[in-house]
Each structure stands twice: as structure tokens, then as C-alpha cells.
Structure 1
Amino acid sequence: METLVDAALRVLNTADPFDKARLGDSVASQWLNGTITLPYNPTLDLPVPDRPARLTQVKLVKPGQMPKLGRGGSLQSRQAMVHSLAHTESWAIDLSWDIIARFGKQEAMPVEFFTDFVKVAQDEGRHFSLLASRLEEMGSFYGALPAHDGLWDSATATSDDLLARLAVEHCVHEARGMDVLPTTIARFRNGGDEKTAGLLESVVYPEEITHCAAGVKWFKYVFLRSMGKGLDGNEEDAVIEKFHEVVRKHFRGPLKPPFNEEARKAAGFGPQWYEPLAVKESKTTTTTTIAF
């Protein structure tokens, strides 16, 4: 009988991103409707690939070498923006299935953990498929432009630490996406592309809030469990202090404001979590500056 981790590994080992999204959607539906019943086989330790299977149709460059996306005033700029978003979502599919396969059994996580990230994975697959389809409607296609794999670089750096993975990928990066999406939506709208703006506004944006919320929720759980406490434990200050410690250790540089305070609050991610991480203290003076 196939377990959820077995199926997650099949998704990770599927190279074509469209097939990956379709398979992930099918696996998620089977888990959520009860066709797949076991999260993993406790007697087996299955190897998780260091890097998921990926096709080579996307030219990869270093993040600093990415061409500017522009502000959405031209069709070319809007195509570049949608391509970048689709690429990010393609990696988000892998990140969601990877956290299930890599950490679920290893950390003896409860069934609710698997269900939450299955839902995230299904959302990310839908986002990729919708954005890739929209890109074709705009006269381009996924793979037409270069992209970078910064998200997976962070995944590799946190591959042996669930707290770090949750903090960096599922809190910091997801929250950053929420920060920039309203501006991105406005750029499409100002450029006359109401269809892409509507897609981002009605589907992607609200679901990204739930993804960040999952990261916050399970970061709290893992840390509080290590202290012998449950999620209802009144240890918010300790959780936040641990979050700061983990992010400073595993995320390069300070967080970049401005922050989408409304969306972050909706995800259970108040300013006490992130504002201290955006402040760079001077070693020679007592003044502080915000790092952009």
C-alpha cells in the first residue's frame, strides 16, 4: 500500500513541472479523501533526493544576474513577471512535498502536519498551472526566460533542520511573497492586465497567507514540543526569540521592509516576529538603521 511519503517522493522525482503539478494534485486529493491513509511506513527509511527532478528547459542564472522584470508597463515586462512567478511556484511545489518526505517521519510529526502541507502543495501546483497557462495566453511559455533557483538553495541549507526549514522557507520567504504581491497586482492592473491581476488577487494572494500561517503554526509546534509543551502553551515570547535565533543563523542578511502588516497578521505573524530582524545595529554608535 502506497503511503503519503511514497507518493511525495514520486512527485519530487517527476521532472516535468506540469506533470509534477498534476501528480501532486492527484496525490493531495487521495490523501484528503482518505484513499491514501498512512503518512509513512515506520519500518522504512526512504531516501529523499538532495535536488528534485527538474527539466532543463529553463535557463538558470545566479539571482544577481537576473534581468530586470520591469514595472508591468509593457507586454514584455508583464510576461517576465508572470514567468518569474510561475518559476517560484514550480519550486514551491517541490518545497511542500519535500518537507513532507524529508521531515514527517524523521520528526514523528502528527497527521495534521501532513494534511496542512498537502494542502499547501496542492495550492502551489494550482498556482503554477494557472500562471503557466496565463503566460501562454500572453504569447509566451514557461522556459522562455531565465530564472534562478534561490528558493532551493535555501532548502538545501535547511535540509537537516525542520525548525530552520519552517522559519526560512515557510515563514520568511512566504511572508516576503505576501509583502510584494499587492504591488505586483497593482502593476498588472496599471498596465491594463486585469486578468493576471485578478488571478493573483483572488487565488494566489489569499492562499499564500494560509501557507505562511502553516509555517508559523508548525514552527511553534516543533519548538514548544521540544520544551515539553503543546500549542496552547503560553510561551509566545520564547517562540519568537527562537525564531529570531534561527533566522539570524540560517537566513543571510536582514529582512527587507516594507512589510505587509495586514497579511502577516492574518497569518499569525505579528510585527514582534519580524521587525527586530529588519534592524541592523551599528557597532560604533547607538543608532539603528533599517536595511533595504
Structure 2
Amino acid sequence: MEASAPPPSSSSGDRTLVEAALRILNAEDPWVKASLGEATAKQWFDGLISRPYDPSVNLPVPERPARLSNVKLVAPSLMPKLGKAGSLQSRQAILHSLAHTESWAIDLSWDIIARFGKEEAMPRSFFDDFVKVAQDEGRHFTLLSGRLQELGSFYGALPAHDGLWDSAIQTSNSLLARLAVEHCVHEARGLDVLPTTISRFRNGGDDATADLLETVVYPEEVTHCAAGVKWFKYLCQRTQQGSPQDKDVQEDKKLQAPDQLSAATNENSEANLDPVIDTFHAIVRTHFRGPLKPPFNEQARQAAGFGPEWYKPLAVKEFGLAE
């Protein structure tokens, strides 16, 4: 059954955002992670937590976040089929899978803040974006697990796999790789499959779940993919310009860094993106197993700033797609 830990207070002694992120990563209960994340996001955006990190302190980030042991974990190849939402059992299985994905998405969002923000001297808007992503993912988990209970099941009732965190471990030494694999490839794959999932729930007579996915989860996941693309471009363009990384402070003039860098590179934006996309292809081929599999949700991917030039070449060799 769902853990019964009470939601934490919205006030905390965290002096920096990274301290708060680590507190969330070290919480076992996903409902507590979601509640702590909501409280932390409010504190951050209200200015109650004002500093992203303390430049004089190095805080260890766990290789694997704390997790409850109530979910039976199996290899992805051993996962039972989810079905097509035509039965209650299938709808429960799909919702359980979605809730599990969102539970890891909470940890991934706080991990990227704690692991890479100080190390890569990222501007404040990087922290803003991923706090918002983390806040969304926590809400998604809470809503989906709540809906699962309404359908007579609960998170932990079915097996799941931890493929998302396997990818996180493989990209733990590179922010570029983490953004490419987790926040572009995996997030974009979610955009590819969600419309079909929504249709299946609706065709199965479950309009409540379909509406939740269509009006809350789907549009917000587009913005999450967009954050990954935005900051991948930023890091590549910063490297091209040779911008110094200030490891100690985040200056106010850096707050709009992604826009400034994009405007400053040169006037031919398509030419500017060529090395960025080449870098993306090289990183995905190195850190992601296998090709990207169509069909692709080109409309949603485009809305996230992720045009076909980013992903179709990664499927061409194996699937014979036309570029």
C-alpha cells in the first residue's frame, strides 16, 4: 500500500537549493519526494532559498537516490506486457508504469541540480528551469498514483524496471550526456508514445485518465524536453565561444546566458546548430544503446525545439529512414 508518511512542512533549514535537492534525493518515499519538491520549488521561486549552492562547500551526491523497496524490480526484458487499456487490469498496469517513470523523473530533476549545477557553473536560469521540471514531475507522480488508487490499485502493486536510472548512472560524469540521453532522448520518447496512450484510455472508456494525461502531463512534458534541448545548446555554444566557467559565483549578467549566447554566435542560426547537432549525435551514439525508434511525434518534438535534424539521423542507419 501507499506509504503513509505525513507531508513535510513547507519550511526547512536548507540554506541552498543543492542542500534541498539532496534532502529530496535522500528521502525514500516518492510521495515525500514530491511533497518536499513542491515545498522547495515554492521556497526557491519566493526567494526563501536564495542561493543555488555554497561555492565553498562540496556536498556528495548519492550514486543512487534513496528508494522504497515496495516496488518489485525486474529487467526491462522481463516486464509483463501492459496491454492496450482495454481492460481494467491493463489500465492499472499502464498507470503503474507511468507513475514509476514519474517517480524517477523527480529524482532525475533534483539530481541534475545537485550533481552538475555547481560543477558546471551553470547560470541561475538553469536552476529555475529544472526546479520547475522537478515540481511538475512530482505533481505528475502524485496525480497518476492517486488515479491508480481510484482504479483499485496502488503504486508498488506491480513490477517495474529502473532503466531510467541505469542511464543516469552512465551519464553521471557529463552534463552534456545527461541532457542528451535523459532530457532529450527519454523525454522525447515520452512525447512519442503519450498520444497513443491517451487514445487507448479514451477508447477504453477511461476519460478521467485520458484527460489527466492530455491536459496536464503531455503539455508539461513538452516543456521538459525543451529544457533539455535549451541547456544542451547552451553548453555547446559556451564551449564554442570559450566562455570561462566561474566556479565560485553566479553573476547577475549570466542570468540570460542562453539567449545571449545564441544571439552572439553569428547570424546564420542553422549553421550555428550544425556542430551542436553533431555533438548531440556523437553523445547519443556513445551513451544510448541502440537506435532511436520511430514513429516520432514530430509536432511535439518541434514544439520543444527538437527538429528532425536532431533525431532522424540516429534512426536512419538501422531503419532506413529518409533524411
Alignment-derived partner of residue 87 in structure 2: 74
Q: What residue in structure 1 maps to residue 24 of structure 2?
A: 11
Secondary structure of 2:241's aligned partner? coil
* Among 243, 246, 257, the residue aligned to 2:283: 246
C-alpha deviation, 1:238, in angstroms: 1.1
| CA drift at 1:106 | 0.2
Secondary structure at 2:129 match in 1: helix
User: Structure 1 residue 231: deviation in Å?
Assistant: 2.6
SS in 1 for 2:320: strand
TM-fit CA distance, 1:148: 0.2
> What CA distance in whole angstroms lies between the structure 2 residues aligned with 1:217 and 1:63?
30
Q: 2:46 aligns with which of 22, 33, 40?
A: 33
Displacement of 1:289 after TM fit?
A: 2.4
Q: Does the alignment pair 1:289 with 2:320?
A: yes
Corresponding position of 1:200: 213
Q: Match for residue 87 of structure 1?
A: 100
Matched, 1:255 2:268: no
Partner of 2:245: none
Structure 1 counterpart of 2:123: 110
The one-letter amino acid of 1:252's match is R
Report the TM-score, using the length of structure 1 for normalisation: 0.96
**Percent identity (aligned):** 72
Aligned pair count reads 284
Partner SS, residue 218 of structure 2: helix
Secondary structure in 1 aligned to 2:317? strand
- 1:21-170 matched pairs, under 5 angstroms: 21-170=34-183
| 1:31-51: CA deviation from partner (whole Å, max 9, x where unpaired) | 011110000000011000000
RMSD of aligned Cα (Å): 1.0
Per-residue CA deviation, residues 111-153 of structure 1 (Å, 9 max, x unaligned), is: 0000000000000000000000000000000000000000000
Three-state SS of the structure 2 residue aligned to 1:2 is coil
Tell me the secondary structure at the aligned position of residue 140 of structure 1: coil
Pairs within 5 Å for 1:215-226: 215-226=228-239
TM-score by length of structure 2 reads 0.87
Distance 1:231 1:249 in 2: 26
Matching residue's letter, 2:299: E
2:303 is matched with 266
Distance 1:231 1:17 in 2: 37
Q: Return the letter of the residue paired with 2:180.
A: A
- Would you identify which runs of 4 or more consecutive aligned residues in structure 1 move more than 6 Å? none
Shift of 1:280: 1.6
Segments of structure 1 that go 5 or more residues without pairing to the other structure are 282-287
Q: Which residue of 2 aligns with 1:213?
A: 226
- The superposition leaves residues 166-208 of structure 1 with CA deviations (integer Å, 9 ceiling, x where unpaired) of 0000000000000000000000000000000000000000000
The aligned residue for residue 9 of structure 2 is: none
